């Protein structure tokens, strides 16, 4: 068991100084997720992207709510790995 932070991947275009946001969380806190599961959907400017679980475990904490600003590398969730 270890705490793994879910970070926003670099799907930004050339301008990294634009805020993006999470538009949908597909799991609530406490949910079990597999490695690679799409746990959320983000959006930057006009492009949506997927946020996947880096490890299997329990989605212990959602750190970034829908519509809160995020950037590349933002810590948006924590997973307690198996």
Partner 1 sequence: MQPSRDQLMWMYRTMILIRRYEERMAEVYFEGKTPRFDIGWGPVPGEMHLAAGQEPVAVGVMSHLGDHDTVTGPHRPHHLAIAKGVNLKAMTAEIFGKKTGLGQGKGGHMHLFDVAKKFSCSGLVGAGFPPALGAALAAKMQGKNWVAVAFAGEGAANQGSFHESLNLAALWKLPVILVIEDNSYGISVPKAASTAVPTNADRAAAYGIPGAFVPNNDPVAVFEAAGIAVERARQGQGPSLLEIKTDRYFGHFQGDPELYRPKGEVDTLKGHDPIARLRTKLMEGGVLSEDSDAALRKAVEAELEEAYAFARNSPYPEPTEALKHVFV
Partner 2 sequence: MSERKITMSKAIAEAIDLEMARDPKVFVMGEDVGIYGGIFSSTTGLFAKYGGDRVKDTPISETAFIGAATGAAAEGMRPIVELMFVDFFGVCMDQIYNHLAKNTYMSGGSVKLPVVLMTAYGGGYNDAAQHSQSLYSLFAHVPGLKVVVPSNAYDAKGLMHTAIRDDNPVMYFFHKGLMGLGWMSSPATASTPVPEGDYTVPLGQAKVVREGQDLTIVTLGWMVHRSLEAAAELEKAGISAEIIDLRTLVPLDRETVIKSAQKTGRVLVVDEDYQSFGLSGEIAATVAEAGALKSFRRVAVPDVPIPYSRPLEQYVLPNPQTIAQAAQGMLEMVG
| b/e 28-56 (16+ beta carbons within 10 angstroms → b) | eeeeebeeebebbebbbeeeeeebebbee
Of the pair 4, 26, the CB lying nearest partner 1 is at 26
Binding residue for partner 2 (CB under 8 A) from 24, 52, 60, 81? Answer: 24
- Asked if 28 interacts with partner 2 (CB under 8 A), we say yes
SS3 state of residue 40: strand
- Asked if 81 interacts with partner 2 (CB under 8 A), we say no
Per CB under 8 A, residues contacting partner 1 are 18-21, 23, 43, 45-48, 67-70
């Amino acid at each position: 068991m270890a705490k793994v932070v879910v970070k926003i991947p670099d799907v930004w275009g050339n301008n990294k100084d634009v805020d993006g946001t999470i538009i949908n969380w597909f799991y609530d806190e406490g949910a079990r997720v597999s490695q690679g599961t799409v746990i959320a959907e983000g959006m930057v400017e006009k492009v949506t992207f997927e946020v996947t679980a880096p490890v299997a475990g329990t989605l212990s904490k959602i750190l970034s709510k829908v519509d809160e600003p995020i950037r590349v590398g933002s810590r948006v969730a924590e997973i307690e790995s198996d």
